[in-house]
Amino acid sequence: MSERSGSGREELLAQLEFYWDHNLWPRLRGLTDEEYFWEPVPGCWSVRRREDGTWSMDWEWPAPEPAPMTTIAWRLAHMGIQTLGIRASAMFGDGSLTVDKVRWPKTASEALRALATHYEHWRRGVLAHQPADERSFTTLILHVNRELIHYGAEVVLMRDLYRTGRRVGATSSS
């Protein structure tokens, strides 16, 4: 790997680390289970206990148009498990974390632990990995950054809406 491609990867990782350290992780402190499962509108996708007692994430492929609104629980599971965890396990680990073997987070604290654990696994893996195709790997890093920034921004916005007692679609009477 050339010095240039290595520094480019480090810059991409620095972008994610800055976002994580300054914009996302501090805003997740104190997340409650009530916020985690809050459904601001009917029909939200979430992480739910199923009739058989297992927990899973609502999902359809292809997603309906328009896709349903998602809860903080869904967004954190998507970020932590799908975007970071499964990908890091497949690329930098033993591949044992798969959609079929996921233990979906049942509480806000479980979701935050999973997100932090999988973020760190991804971060360390990106630094150490020597890909056969640096350009494809760079494209993947950019995709993961976009996913985390996108969904992370939605999570913190939903926390603001929850905190202020506003509901999506509500209008002011003033």
For 84-102, b where at least 16 C-beta lie within 10 A, e where not — what string?
Answer: bbbbbbebbeeeebeeeeb
Residue 104 near residue 77 (C-beta atoms within 8 A): yes
Domain locations in the chain as residue ranges: 3-44+69-164
Tokens 């979701």, located at residue: 111
The answer to whether residue 7 scores a pLDDT higher than 80 is no
Distance between CA atoms of 157 and 24, rounded to whole angstroms? 11
3-state helix vs strand vs coil in the chain, percent to 5: 60, 5, 35
CATH of 3-44+69-164, one of 3.90.1720, 1.10.1790, 1.20.120, 1.20.950: 1.20.120
Residue 47 near residue 56 (C-beta atoms within 8 A): yes
The answer to whether residue 72 scores a pLDDT higher than 90 is yes
Residue 58 near residue 45 (C-beta atoms within 8 A): yes
- Residues comprising the chain, all counted: 174
Distance between CA atoms of 87 and 122, rounded to whole angstroms? 8
Distance between CA atoms of 109 and 37, rounded to whole angstroms? 12
Give the rounded distance of the alpha carbon of 153 from its chain centre. Answer: 10
Report pLDDT digits (tens) over 37-64: 999 999 999 999 999 999 999 999 999 9
pTM above 0.85, yes or no: yes
Number of C-alpha atoms within 13 angstroms, CB side, residue 109? 0
Report pLDDT digits (tens) over 128-174: 999 999 999 999 999 999 999 999 999 999 999 999 985 555 554 44
Residue type, 174: S
Distance between CA atoms of 21 and 107, rounded to whole angstroms? 22
Bridge-based pairing of strands 47-49 and 55-57 is antiparallel
The answer to whether residue 6 scores a pLDDT higher than 60 is no
pLDDT above 70 as % of the chain: 91
Distance between CA atoms of 122 and 124, rounded to whole angstroms? 6
